[in-house]
Amino acid sequence: MAHFPSEIEFVSFLQYSPRGNSPLSRYSRDVTYAVKQDGQVRVWDTGGSVRLTSAIERVAERLAVEIPRDACLSSCLGPDVTLIPMPRSSPLVAGALWPTHRICQRLQREGLAGQVLPCLVRDRPVQRSSTAPRGARPDPPDHFNSVEVRNLRLYPAPRPRITLLDDVITRGSTFVGIIPKLMAAFPTASISCFAVVRTLRSGEVSHFVDPVRGKVCYNGSTLHRSP
């Protein structure tokens, strides 16, 4: 039986509003969905013209600018860090999009990671949290029981600092469920959690770029994320 942490820390970079109506809230949704689908977003140049660019590339470039200014970002990203992408909610098939893997690869190209280790494999699907009705979202045991650490012999040994990366954190269930797997596989490593985007429970987005260090508490039945 898995022992789940009662509390984990995470770092997130952006925030988005699922239901906000302000222009910034709507833009935050556009960027978040584009990151999850490896799509494009609008970017305004200094001259006021608008162009389309890869959402993942844009986020990675902005992270590279912000990380020297923010200690919470540098605590989980850097050239001495091994990034492990969170698995999709369903088993990966050949040719399928794996957004978190793309994000990790782009961050590595920006110098924000020394290694990408795609060692987490989802054996059976779980309900996607973004589409699940309240009460049907997967809990930490669902994630723990459907994911394995594999293929470690295919890659060099990870750095002492490991960061588990997800595209969006809502409740934090995936982090809580998978951290025990990584702790067992890498018992001497320092393991952090990083989400590109943090979901707002309600209200409008006031600052889209909003690096924070937060916590997820789990008592065996309920999850509480702060902020």
The answer to the question of residue 132 being in a domain is yes
The answer to the question of residue 71 being in a domain is yes
Rounded-to-integer distance, Cα 95 and Cα 175, Å: 25
Number of domains in the chain: 1
The answer to the question of residue 34 being in a domain is yes
Q: For residue 131, what are the domain limits?
A: 7-226
Q: What is the pLDDT along the chain (227 residues), one digit of tens a residue?
A: 679 999 999 999 999 999 999 999 999 999 999 999 999 998 888 777 888 999 999 999 999 999 999 999 999 999 999 999 999 999 999 889 999 999 999 999 999 999 999 999 999 999 887 666 776 789 999 999 999 999 999 999 999 999 999 999 999 999 999 999 999 999 999 999 999 999 999 999 999 999 999 999 999 999 999 99
Q: Is the pTM of this model over 0.85?
A: yes
The answer to the question of residue 151 being in a domain is yes
The answer to the question of residue 212 being in a domain is yes
| CB-based contact 197:5 (threshold 8 Å) | no
Q: In the numeric block, which tokens belong to residue 80?
A: 């001495």
Helix H or strand E encompassing 56: helix 55-66
- CA distances, 177 to each of 51, 164, 223 (Å): 39, 12, 11
Which CATH number goes with the domain that contains 166?
A: 3.40.50
The answer to the question of residue 91 being in a domain is yes
What sign does the dihedral 136-147-195-10 (CA atoms) show? positive
The answer to the question of residue 1 being in a domain is no
Alpha carbon distance, N-terminus to C-terminus of the chain: 29
Length of the chain: 227
- CA distances, 161 to each of 7, 76, 82, 206 (Å): 19, 8, 6, 32
The answer to the question of residue 207 being in a domain is yes
Q: In the numeric block, which tokens belong to residue 214?
A: 């937060």
